[in-house]
Amino acid sequence: MSSPRSPRSRTKGFKPMGPLGEAFEKRARSASNLWYLTSAKAGGDIVLKSDAELVHCLRLEADPQVVSFGLHEPQFSAHSRDSAPFDFAIISKAGERRFQDVTSEHASEPVLLSDHALKIYQARERESVQQGGIYSRVGRSELLRFQMLAMNFLEGIAYRNAAAGLPLMKFRQELGALVRSHGRLSVSSLQKIFPSAEHPEVFAALFAMLANGDLGSDLDTHPWGKRTVVFAPAPPHQEAFESRDLPSLLAHELQRRRERRTLEDKRAMSAALAQLLPEGKRHHTRSTSPPELLDYRRWPGWSEECVAPQNKTWASVRREALIAYLNFQLTEPIAKETGIHRSELTRLFQRALEIDERDGQIAGWRILRKGYRPKITCRITSRDEGSQRNGHAYQFLALLSAHPEIRSELTNAILKRNRGFAESRVTVSSLHRRFLELCTKGGVSSASYPFNTKSQGLPALRELIKRIKIENAERVAELELQTGAVKRAKLDTGIRSIIDARNPYSVVAMDGHTLDFIGTVRIKTPTQSIWVPISRIIVYVVVDRRTWAILGYSVVIGGTGTAIEAMQAVIHALSTWEQINYPSALLSYAPEGGLPSGRIPELAGAGWSTLWLDNASNFTSEALAERVRRRVGCAVNYGPVKNWSRRFWVEGAFSALERSGFQRLPNTTGSHPKDPRRRDAESIAARMKIDWEELLYLIDVALANLNGTVRGNLHGRTPLQALRDFVDSEDSCFIPRKLPQLPPGVADLGTVVVKKTVRGNVAQMRRPYIEYLGVHYTSDLFSDCWELIGKVVICHISRDISSIKIFLSDGSCLGAIHAGLGWGGTYHDEHLRREVNSLIAEGKLTRNIDEDWPQAYLRAKTEQAYNEAVQRPKGNRKISKSATKVAKIAHKTGLSIPEILTDKVLPEVDATSPIEADGVRSRVMPSFVKALKRQAEY
């Protein structure tokens, strides 16, 4: 029984290990996403909990003043009320220690925090001071300021991680000498000296030097690419020289900023004007108001279109006057020029500073709209007995104002926030009853509203319910709508992601999809062929975010696919695509279609900066989380649980693929179980005789053609055209990032490295061999290495385990060793070996003398599929698991499906009569045959 911490779980496949595994456990089913990457300054692999943390991490990576940083360091004081660890603990070059928390909220300054948050802020600040550090919070606005630099360094760490283990010192020296001799160099000039396709380590060295401050660049203001400028950094003494030359006021300001800020200093500055205003009315003039409030350019709400045409003159005169007033011009000239006197100016100024209850900001320029009211008018009218007044205007609002607990109770009931079990469905009538109960409980008399009305506030309550649902749309969607609607609510929020997919190959996602059509396997007998339906095929695709281009894919027949099969999509994206030659009448390649690696040579073998995945077990395996990450150098993102919308472009690609491709085929299964198009897809597939090999061709064609289809979000271009523009256009900065050659002895993608002990026995003359998955491996060279018996060697095992490459512990290569009899002749993978081994152990599989085990397995499965198909009533076509297995084995091994020889087919042969070939005399039997016959007779 596997332990909970072991890599393989019986139910969910491979679990992530190490820091990623711990992060997964802590995250559970929360909404956060995880980033897994390698950071040089963090000293290795790190896991980040949000996009904001990633951006900040990249900023620290880029900062030459930062020597190292650690993540989620625990607080040391046991007395702190806030026990959450600091997000980042930073050590700078000056030896300064800093503790930082990252938040995605805009407000990070203390003056902008609520009281509770401010207390926590102060507590953490005290903690950091006790640890000898400085505390600060990093908010969204600051992150956005460094977004450009962070995105550039996302590319940078991809360069560095892909070149990990390679010697960069030579390139660093050459780069340093070049830049020092020229002063400034652009990356395009560097490319002429070091072509990036041949020396990708150059850019790895460049980013390392930028991170350490050995070189400077304009990456904080401009995107990384051909036009990036690198220069030698200014010597340290020049900074002091500059500050001496500055006017004293500015120098003082610079000096003040360099000093450590206290809370009081921070209170003096403010990013949000409205937070500075105390509640209640106060008389503000331009002399008494803080300078930030006088900055009319930051006032909200001015738009000429909002002003009615007949009021434009009125509004523009007052605006002109107010601006002059705020610029401290004398009021008399203003009055002469505009006709607006001083009292009116101060009145306008007061109105402009009032807080708008709707959004919490000052009214600003909105006061120039006729009829604008910053406060929600609430007329409190009392309805006494005997009163002749009929109206109940604003009564409901007045009631809620007087009894705020009623609104909060109703809101909790609608949104099911109350503890305990909530009703499965909350109706308006039940809410109305609850409302009346709350009114009674709150002390509302029966002579007052709502009890003194016929409807008892029901229409107003309906409006309130509607408003609450609109204000909490996402929560309502979770409660009342289907999952698809819930996920769709997360799209188009208007909030721009902090991760900017500015260039192609910066954000790339991978996902699997079950294709909506049925294929068949052709099983041949000497007299006929039958077509047996197989399970739907799964395809894993890698899709670029910026251009929606499909970069690579892999196909899985039968089952959900293993991590290795998913990784084949990555390997395919990194290799060069070629068309498949297969004559088919159903679909053909469009002239403008294809995959980028095959159509645009510069993109063949190009890597990406980030890979976005979901939390499927095969994506969290070592193959993808570690091997792909290390080889490509990218950061891997695991999105929030059950949130496909985070990788919407992959889902969009699948949708387009189905709509324009497979759902148009006759053998489609449609888009849902009740889709009329799926009527008897299995029979149609069998009648159409669509072989599984043809299906693989169709998949390739469909994906290639999708890349040649015009997309609206690409300004009328196809994904391939968009990529071509990025590569060729002079305006584009994009540089395809080629992966460096691996150092000798380092396993490539698709290769697993294991250590094995060499077996054998000199005394018994058992030659040296290695055992892997129950099979002995050796070679002519290896079998002579008696001294290796008992020693450990390193085995590089590729997808084809019919041979293994072995290395000594010092890295010397001993070449390939091959699997023993029955296994060494046919391409097969570990999965197939295990299946066959289990069948052999159970005695359910035998092989003929002239076939390998994979061939025997294929033959056995083909026979099984045939027998099942012929036993089924005619016309009853169902998906056959055996036939699916046959297709899977044939696909993996490259073997062709054998012909089945059935008993009914073999002709009767008379063994007693002599057989003579036409035109040939009977041969004389050799003498020993006669002797054998005589023996038999005896």
Partner 1 sequence: MNIGSNNPRGELVDKLPPTSAEEQDALLEEHPIRSKEFMLVTSEILRVATLALHAINKRWPCCNFVGVSRVGKSRASSYITAAIKSSFRDVLVFRRNSLSGESKNATVFSEMMSAMSLDERDLKTAVDARVRAARSLDVRARATGAHHVVLVADEANNLTMNQFRMLADISNEMELGLTFIGFGMPNLLERRNALLATDSGYLVSRFLNLMVEIAGIRSETDLREFMSLYDEPSQLEYPAGSRWPISRFFFPGAWLQGWRLGNEAGTLWRLFESRVVEGKRRVGFQISTECVAIAIKSVLIDNRHFKFTTTPISELDWQYGVAQSQFQPSIGWSAKSSENLRTTLQTLEDFGLAPPDLSS
Q: Which residues bind partner 1 (CB under 8 A)?
A: 197-198, 574-576, 578, 597, 604-605, 738, 740-741, 743-745, 780-782, 784-788, 808, 810-815
Closest CA to 727 of 902, 603, 894: 603
Closest CA to 803 of 785, 781, 825, 784: 825
Tell me how far, at minimum, the Cβ of 177 lies from partner 1, in Å.
22
Tell me how far, at minimum, the Cβ of 807 lies from partner 1, in Å.
8
- Smaller CB distance to partner 1: residue 57 or 785? 785
- Smaller CB distance to partner 1: residue 410 or 788? 788
Q: Are 755 and 792 in contact (CB under 8 A)?
A: yes
Tell me how far, at minimum, the Cβ of 731 lies from partner 1, in Å.
26
- Smaller CB distance to partner 1: residue 198 or 337? 198
Q: Are 552 and 574 in contact (CB under 8 A)?
A: yes
Tell me how far, at minimum, the Cβ of 791 lies from partner 1, in Å.
8
Q: Can you give the C-alpha Rg of the chain in angstroms?
A: 37
DSSP 3-state assignment of 495?
coil
Contacts of 538 (CB under 8 A, 6+ apart): 512, 513, 514, 515, 555, 556, 559, 560, 561
Question: Structure tokens of 348?
Answer: 């306008």
DSSP 3-state assignment of 100?
strand
Tell me how far, at minimum, the Cβ of 189 lies from partner 1, in Å.
21
- Smaller CB distance to partner 1: residue 561 or 607? 607
Question: What is the 3 state secondary structure string of 25-70?
Answer: HHHCCCCCCEEEEEECCCCEEEEECCHHHHHHHHHHHHCCCEEEEE
Give the CA count within 13 Å in the CB-facing half-sphere of 222.
Answer: 15
Letter for the amino acid at 323? I
CA distance 780 to 814: 11
- Smaller CB distance to partner 1: residue 273 or 739? 739
Q: Are 557 and 534 in contact (CB under 8 A)?
A: yes
- Smaller CB distance to partner 1: residue 405 or 784? 784
- Smaller CB distance to partner 1: residue 582 or 786? 786
Letter for the amino acid at 123? A
Tell me how far, at minimum, the Cβ of 539 lies from partner 1, in Å.
21
Name residue 219's beta-bridge partners. Answer: none
Q: Are 814 and 782 in contact (CB under 8 A)?
A: yes
Query: Residue 553 belongs to what H/E stretch?
Result: strand 550-557
Kindly provide the b/e burial profile for residues 636-668, where b requires at least 16 CB atoms within 10 angstroms of the residue's own CB: bbbbbeeebbbbbbbbebbeebbeebbbebebb
User: Would you tell me how many other CB atoms lie within 10 Å of the CB of residue 738?
Assistant: 20
CA distance 678 to 667: 8
- Smaller CB distance to partner 1: residue 526 or 815? 815
Tell me how far, at minimum, the Cβ of 642 lies from partner 1, in Å.
36
DSSP 3-state assignment of 427?
coil
CA distance 412 to 419: 10
Tell me how far, at minimum, the Cβ of 769 lies from partner 1, in Å.
14
- Smaller CB distance to partner 1: residue 23 or 603? 603
Tell me how far, at minimum, the Cβ of 703 lies from partner 1, in Å.
18
- Ramachandran quadrant class, 171 (left: phi over 0; alpha: psi -120 to 50; beta: rest): alpha
Tell me how far, at minimum, the Cβ of 197 lies from partner 1, in Å.
7
- Smaller CB distance to partner 1: residue 384 or 780? 780
- Smaller CB distance to partner 1: residue 190 or 551? 551
Tell me how far, at minimum, the Cβ of 305 lies from partner 1, in Å.
54
396, 397, 403 from 448: Cα distances, Å? 11, 14, 14
- Smaller CB distance to partner 1: residue 199 or 881? 199
Tell me how far, at minimum, the Cβ of 541 lies from partner 1, in Å.
18
Closest CA to 407 of 449, 467, 356: 467
Tell me how far, at minimum, the Cβ of 815 lies from partner 1, in Å.
4
Query: Residue 156 belongs to what H/E stretch?
Result: helix 147-162
Q: Are 753 and 745 in contact (CB under 8 A)?
A: no
CA distance 529 to 280: 89
- Smaller CB distance to partner 1: residue 439 or 806? 806
- Smaller CB distance to partner 1: residue 644 or 786? 786
Tell me how far, at minimum, the Cβ of 813 lies from partner 1, in Å.
5
- Smaller CB distance to partner 1: residue 65 or 809? 809
Tell me how far, at minimum, the Cβ of 198 lies from partner 1, in Å.
6
- Smaller CB distance to partner 1: residue 35 or 553? 553
Name residue 135's beta-bridge partners. Answer: 99
- Smaller CB distance to partner 1: residue 639 or 740? 740
Tell me how far, at minimum, the Cβ of 196 lies from partner 1, in Å.
11
Whether cis (ω within 30° of 0) applies to the bond prior to 768 is no
- Smaller CB distance to partner 1: residue 604 or 897? 604
Letter for the amino acid at 379? R
Tell me how far, at minimum, the Cβ of 806 lies from partner 1, in Å.
9
In terms of DSSP H, where are the helices of 472-581? 473-480, 483-489, 563-574
Tell me how far, at minimum, the Cβ of 506 lies from partner 1, in Å.
20
E strands, 808-845, where?
A: 813-819
Kindly provide the b/e burial profile for residues 491-506, where b requires at least 16 CB atoms within 10 angstroms of the residue's own CB: eeeeeeebbbbbbbbb
56, 514, 537, 619, 650 from 561: Cα distances, Å? 36, 11, 10, 11, 18
